[in-house]
Chains A and B, each alone.
Chain A
Amino acid sequence: MAEAVIVVALLLVAASATVAVAVRDPVRQSLVLAVLGVVLAVLFTVLQAPDVGLSQLAVGSALTPLLLLLTVRKVKRRGRRRKESES
């Protein structure tokens, strides 16, 4: 039973990690990354490492996507300003 849960969690991690690579838009990518963080946290908990699971949940699914989104916003804003000044 425990092994079935581990296999399911591993498959979910593989699937969401593949989607994170396949999606090309950084905004969507960071959202997929948040999902990947949650799934990884589940995997760690199933593998009896709740401490690592908690860090993964906090950093992988909240902090990293947030930093990515803020970076994307900054880069996009700069691009928009440049277009305005060119036209």
Chain B
Amino acid sequence: MTPRLRLWLVVTGGAGLAVLLVAACLRLPDFGGDRHPYGDRAVVASLARHTANTVASVNFDQRAFDTLGEMTILFAAVLGCMVLLRQTRDEHRARPEPEAVALPVRRYALLVLPVALLSGLYVVAHGQVSPGGGFQGGVVAATALHLLYLGADYRALERVRPVAPYEVGDALAASAYLVTGLAALIGGSAFLANTLLPYGTFNTLSSAGTVPLLNAAIGMEVACAVVVLLAGFLDQAVEIEDEGESGDRLDDPEEPGK
């Protein structure tokens, strides 16, 4: 592809997107008004399935297929990062030396770690009844683990966070989402339709049919994906060293598709 053609492609695509966006924005309901055509329908549908958090109902029931797409994007992005951040032949691992941690930092990190981890799990578990859900809680739980790096050192983190199980967990959670969708299909309705389980009592943990299941799958997927992603970045920042000048090659951005 010549640069000229590429420029044309970008300009045409960008112009088309801009026109579509402006056209869509012109017909949006007014900001802060009391007419919410989409919101009203979404709330009615989520109440019919005993889901207290309408956003969770939209994410894991009414638009569950979109969430499958988003999950796949995250999965593919992390996979791509892992391929880019892998240890190449001209790099070697150096054991990082344990460093002294200031006492207040250590105390604070070790105190906050369980609280943050629990908050993350709480947010995942209560996705169907209160704001939050698998995505938010998963990120919180995964980043909470890394307080161990602040409070102790890299080796302590590596001990509680062997990367391989998290990679498996990531793939398992992604498949769990798919399998739940397929189960609805086998059960005689549409892919990812919320018809499998009883809807339960409104505003309790066991409500909303398959929403908690899909929510938990997303929570596990996101938590594992973030752990794996941060492990890749940490490995590169702390452990992996390239040998002298051989790293130069990496500075030239290779153009994809050439």
Contacts and interface: CB of A to CB of B under 8 A. Distances in A.
Interface of A: 3, 50-51, 53-55, 57-59, 62-63, 66-67, 70-71, 73-74, 77-78, 81-82, 85
A55 B123 CA distance: 11
A3 to B, nearest CB: 8
Nearest to B229: A67
Contacts of B233: 66-67, 70-71, 74
A58 B143 contact: yes
Nearest to B32: A3
Contact of A70 (B131, B132, B234, B242): B234
20 contacts: A3-B32, A51-B131, A54-B131, A54-B132, A54-B136, A57-B136, A58-B136, A58-B139, A58-B140, A59-B139, A63-B143, A63-B226, A66-B230, A70-B237, A71-B237, A73-B237, A74-B233, A78-B247, A81-B241, A85-B244
B230 A67 contact: yes
B49 interface: no
Interface of B: 32, 53, 55, 123, 131-133, 135-136, 139-140, 143, 146, 226, 229-230, 233-234, 236-238, 241-242, 244-245, 247
Contacts of A67: 229-230, 233
Nearest to B55: A51
A70 B139 contact: no
Contacts of A51: 53, 55, 131-133, 136
Contacts, number: 61
Overall SS of chain A's interface: helix
A67 B233 CA distance: 7
A44 to B, nearest CB: 10
A63 B234 CA distance: 13
Interface centre among A54, A71, A77, A81 (most CB of B within 10 A): A54
Contacts of B241: 77, 81
A73 B149 CA distance: 15
Contacts of A59: 139
Contacts of B146: 66
A53 B136 CA distance: 9
Contact of B123 (A53, A54, A71, A74): A54
A81 to B, nearest CB: 7
Contacts of B242: 78, 81
A82 B242 CA distance: 10
B139 A62 contact: yes
Contacts of A81: 241-242, 244, 247
Given A66-B146, A74-B236, A82 B245 contact: yes
A82 B139 contact: no
A63 B245 contact: no
A11 B238 CA distance: 38
Contacts of B132: 50-51, 54
A76 B79 CA distance: 25
A74 B238 CA distance: 8
A73 B233 CA distance: 10
